[in-house]
Amino acid sequence: MTACIFDLDGVIVDTARYHFLAWQKLAKELGVELTRHHNERLKGVGRMESLNIILELGGLQRSDGEKESLATRKNAWFVEFIEAMKKEEIFGGATALFSELKANGVKVALASSSKNAQTVLKKLEIGSYFEAIVDGTMIERSKPDPEIFLKAATMLHASPKECIVVEDAEAGVEAAICAGMKCVGIGKKEQLNKANLVVDQIGQLNYQILNNL
Ligand code: BG6
Ligand code: MG
């Protein structure tokens, strides 16, 4: 392992919950019931792709203009949540893991589909841990496409097979595998069974575990 690439939402901080709450609010307005089970499909994918899944669940169709305004409304609610967020919401052990990896010569990167990733990093004051940051404004295709992870690896001058991805989304695990990288899933084995290892929280990981994958 020469590089470790972390997803943000649901891996480093519980912003996955805020995405879910904001989408659920929008879905309710549209008359669509969005369950936690449905939400697994929304994790890791871009804003418009998520909206399309919700519309599909409800059997609804909207024009491009209407979709833009629906996505903007959801984002406004999400931004309200992250503005109120505190540094204490960073998952236990996350920053210690970044430091431990660096101390062992491993490069650390962030790869998030979110266009709000930089805002979240600033709010939590953790941007300086990452040698490379790829966010939703820098990619053409969202996870499960491997573009985001390949871009991060290129920025770190690391070859994909030397990279380990840490992800909470099924789409993210898929993207890591497509990129030719190893992957640790954060969450439930049923959803993330394609990952090389699945743990409940980032705090359970350390350099040795990752390096032995
Ligand atoms: C991902 C989240 O990190 O970013 C998704 O897992 C979210 O739930 C996606 O939809 C896009 O986020 P944003 O902030 O650009 O709407
Ligand atoms: Mg995530």
Amino acid 208: pLDDT: 98
All residues at 6 or more sequence positions from 162 whose CB lies less than 8 Å from its CB, including other chains: 1, 2, 3
Domain 16-83 belongs to what topology?
DNA polymerase; domain 1 (1.10.150)
Amino acid 98: pLDDT: 98
Across 64-69, average pLDDT: 98
Amino acid 82: pLDDT: 96
Whether residue 9 has its Cβ less than 6 Å from ligand 1: yes
**pLDDT digits 0-9 by tens, 151-163:** 999 999 999 999 9
Average pLDDT, the chain: 97
Residues of the chain with CATH 3.40.50.1000: 3-13+87-211
pLDDT tier at 54, thresholds 50, 70, 90: very high
Over pLDDT 90: what percentage of the chain?
100
- Comparing C-alpha atoms, which of 185, 201, 4 is closest to residue 101? 4
Answer whether 0.85 is exceeded by the pTM.
Answer: yes
CB 143 within 8 A of CB 44: yes
Amino acid 136: pLDDT: 96
Distance in angstroms (rounded) separating the CA atoms of residues 175 and 147: 8
**pLDDT digits 0-9 by tens, 121-154:** 999 999 999 999 999 999 999 999 999 999 999 9
Whether residue 13 has its Cβ less than 6 Å from ligand 1: no
Residues of the chain with CATH 1.10.150.240: 16-83
Q: Supply the residues annotated as catalytic.
A: 7, 9
Amino acid 57: pLDDT: 96
Amino acid 159: pLDDT: 98
Nearest CA to ligand 1 atom 6: 44
Domain 3-13+87-211 belongs to what topology?
Rossmann fold (3.40.50)
* CA angle centred on 141, ends 136 and 145, rounded to 5°: 110
Tokens found for residue 153: 């690896």
**pLDDT digits 0-9 by tens, 7-41:** 999 999 999 999 999 999 999 999 999 999 999 99
